[in-house]
A and B are shown apart, each in its own frame.
Chain A
Amino acid sequence: MSASPLPNPAFTRRRALQLFGLGAATVALAGCSPTGTSGAASGAAGLNGADPTDFAFASWSLTEEAAKPALEAIIADYEKANGVSVKPTAFPYNEYINQLMLQVTGGQFTGAAHVDVAWLGSLAATGKLQDLSSLAKGRGYTDAALTAATFDGVQYALPWTIGAIGLVTNSEILGKVGVAPDAFPTTIDDFEKTLKDLKGLGGGLIPYAASTKAAQLKDILIWMQTFGSPLVDGDTITIGDDASIEAVAWYKSLYDQGLIAADVDRFDARSLFAQGRAAIYDDAPVGRGAVTGESPDPDLGSKLVPVSRPVLAAGDTPRALVWGGAIAVVSGSGAATAGDFAQFATSDLDTILADYAVRGLPPATEDALSSDAIASDVFGTQFSERITATATANPLWAFTAYSQIEAEVADRVQAVLVGSSSPKDAMKEAGAAARKLAG
């Protein structure tokens, strides 16, 4: 595990737990407004005394060099302990949900599937996910984490990593424009000024490697919330309101000024950041392994500082998006053993700590969160304190057509960025399309 040598603010395990809990607790609030028509597949989850059998395990992390070793180790440990063979299935993150949906609905995939908690609604709609509530009992998962892996009141997955996506900075580059790690701009106006100062450094530096490719333009949603859009009011999607239009207009102005760059998604942003060509980007803690592993700078790990997202007006609460991974079980061949594997991967303490050392994603059980290994990780605790603490779930996750809604919004925002549409027209269209999809 890489520990940052940056100054560690007074931070106790109890405090860490409070912060993890506080951030994740917001998931519970957002997760209470499901609109799905899903139902769990029948049959009790887990082995229930039966002999383990071979099964398949799908994960996007198996396509990522930095994260892959962690998952391979978990799979190898489980195979060795149970004398079974786990068939790995991998799709890149940007394609994952669509490929998984196709395989699940086509009956080609059964077993354990690593899922983003945002996708639970869509996957639950297939009616092929097992209810894992019996496997969740007595394993020490935090209540908030369990709720994050729940949809429509059903425990469709076991929580694995519950964290957030927020701003990650390179403190060395920020230092060149006189911004200390603890004095990162708190308002949008000051943030934009810092971006301009960073651009003034020249050398092709991209001040903020924000997502501009459609595949990751969902990142705009958190800026919409920062500008005051609720995204969903009751059961109605509010995209197209003044705040969302203002957020997109601001994003476009950053694009036009060259403060954010064209043709960037999460993976491009990591590459640019790793090469020292970007000063700020959005990521989850898992990105730390990717950028430090890819960087020619051996000290980059010590320069990484997570910061709170700037707010519209001083005093507002910084926004961050909850980002959680969970393991769901698709009923069919090998599902019983897949349930047992899901429980092992997400709640066995040694397994979790070994996983954390590689991926750095906050786990979902009380004992893991209070372990020395996690509480003493400076980057991890800073991330929790500054980002996860105020993170909220995306209210659009409550809709089974979430991934289509996200795509509609992303396409329209991209049209604004390339000048094909005005922020107002684009967001009005996006809102109408999203409401139609929500039904």
Chain B
Amino acid sequence: MTTAPELTQANKSHTKSLRASLSSKPQRLGDGIFAILLVVPGLALMAVVVAYPLVSALVTAFFKQSLVLPGREFVGLQNIIDVLQGNFFQLLQQTLVFTLGTTIAPFVIGFALALALNTQIRGTKIMRGLMLIPWLVPGVVVSFLWMWIFNANYGVMNAILEPFGIEPQAWLAQPGTAMFAVIVAKTWQSFPWMMVMLLAGLQTVPRELHEAAEMDGAGTIRRFFSITVPQLSGIIGLVVLLEFIWNFQHFDIIYVLTGGGPAGTTETFATSVYETAFHGFDLGRAGALGLLWLVLLMALVVVYVRFSEKGEKR
């Protein structure tokens, strides 16, 4: 049994320690540590779903490895040499043709439509909504739609051109027309995004600038090149660069529409890596191709980052 003096003594000592703890300075988490703790979950997730597969795929570039057979053998730079001595430069050329085509065409169409929709004519709001539809359609659906349009034997395109005396064409099966067809399909899908971005930019251009220039006698074309384009240069650069980077990696429309054919004439880095890894089961070669592709993409990303930094400074 505890006596009263003992209880009093215990209470005194507890109160003393409580005072001591309250009077001491609270433990503070440094800003740096706090920031690291915030970033750690994101970094961990990235390490698992991005960094590990990426590093693993790049390491594969130095091995002879099959997707379906066990084991692998270190071959040094042999896979990279094989790729460079193979069809790498043809792939680079075709990827650039596709990328340039699917960046320039949607930009021109998107810019023209943005200019039209930035006017006060009736129905622009409805048109803005309707124009977005191609962008909302999934890439695979877009591909099947255009596959049907461009089919050599029962396609809509040939049916449209036939009354004009144009012989039916195998749009997707001829080297001369297959890349054109793929670019058209991708352009149809991506011009709305360009249009929306450029329209947003156009709406920030002060109307007073145009009015002042008009009073000074500047015509429409002069105002376009001297006011609109300079005012939009930042956003134009950004959307063109982003579109270029995305198209450089584009896969689904090309793969579904032509599978890289005929005879490899629409093959790009994206479809070739897939074909090599998942149809040819050659992980080593696919890894080497992926490594070279990544190097080229990194160069584009550096340009993008520099451009963004420049924009921020402005």
Contacts and interface: CB of A to CB of B under 8 A. Distances in A.
Interface in B159-187: 168, 170, 172-175
A42 to B, nearest CB: 15
B118 to A, nearest CB: 41
Contact of B173 (A263, A272, A404, A407): A263
A407 to B, nearest CB: 6
Contacts of A101: 67-68, 281
Nearest to B275: A407
B153 A206 contact: yes
Nearest to A97: B279
A323 B83 CA distance: 36
Given A277-B153, A420-B265, A98 B170 contact: no
Nearest to B69: A125
B281 A418 contact: no
Nearest to A426: B263
A420 B173 CA distance: 12
A169 interface: no
Contacts of A403: 279
Centre residue among A403, A404, A417, A418 by max chain B CB count within 10 A: A418
Interface residues of B, number: 24
B68 A263 contact: no
Interface in A169-220: 204, 206, 212-215
Interface string B246-289: 00000000000001011111000000000000111100000000
Contacts, number: 74
A105 B153 contact: no
A206 B262 CA distance: 20
Interface in B82-134: none
A418 B279 CA distance: 22
Contact of B259 (A215, A268, A272, A417): A215
B261 A213 contact: yes
A129 to B, nearest CB: 12
B68 A414 contact: no
A264 B172 CA distance: 11
A334 B105 CA distance: 52
B68 A126 contact: yes
A268 B261 CA distance: 17
Interface in A394-413: 401, 403-404, 407, 411
Interface string B128-162: 00000000000000000000000111100000000
Nearest to B277: A102
A404 B172 contact: no
Interface size class on chain A is: 35 or more
B151 A263 contact: yes
A421 B263 contact: yes
Nearest to B280: A404
Contact of A122 (B68, B172, B259, B265): B68
A262 B68 contact: no
Given A213-B261, A414-B262, A272 B279 contact: no
A403 B175 CA distance: 25
B153 A272 contact: yes
B153 A214 contact: no
A411 B264 contact: yes
A46 to B, nearest CB: 26
B279 to A, nearest CB: 6
B153 A414 contact: no
Interface string A236-263: 0000000000000000000000000111
Contacts of A407: 279-280
A213 B69 CA distance: 29
A102 B67 contact: yes
Nearest to A401: B281
A105 B283 CA distance: 13
Contact of B263 (A127, A206, A215, A415): A415
Contacts of B172: 263
Contacts of A275: 154
Nearest to B152: A263
A271 interface: yes
B153 A212 contact: no
Nearest to B282: A404
A418 B152 CA distance: 14
A163 B226 CA distance: 73
A214 B67 contact: no
A98 B153 contact: no
Interface in A56-81: none
B68 A268 contact: no
Contacts of B174: 262, 418
A252 to B, nearest CB: 13
Contacts of A272: 153-154
Given A261-B152, A263-B152, A271-B154, A420 B170 contact: no
A263 B153 contact: yes
B203 to A, nearest CB: 45
Given A263-B152, A418-B173, 16 more contacts: A101-B67, A101-B281, A102-B67, A102-B278, A261-B153, A262-B170, A263-B170, A263-B172, A264-B153, A268-B151, A407-B280, A417-B262, A418-B174, A418-B262, A419-B175, A420-B263
9 smallest beta-carbon distances between A and B, as pairs: A262-B170, A415-B263, A263-B152, A262-B173, A263-B173, A420-B263, A418-B262, A262-B152, A414-B263
22 contacts: A101-B67, A102-B278, A206-B153, A212-B173, A214-B259, A214-B261, A214-B262, A261-B152, A261-B153, A262-B170, A263-B152, A403-B279, A404-B281, A407-B279, A407-B280, A411-B263, A417-B262, A418-B174, A418-B265, A419-B175, A420-B175, A420-B263
Interface of A: 98, 101-102, 105, 122, 125-127, 204, 206, 212-215, 261-264, 268, 271-272, 275, 277, 401, 403-404, 407, 411, 414-415, 417-421
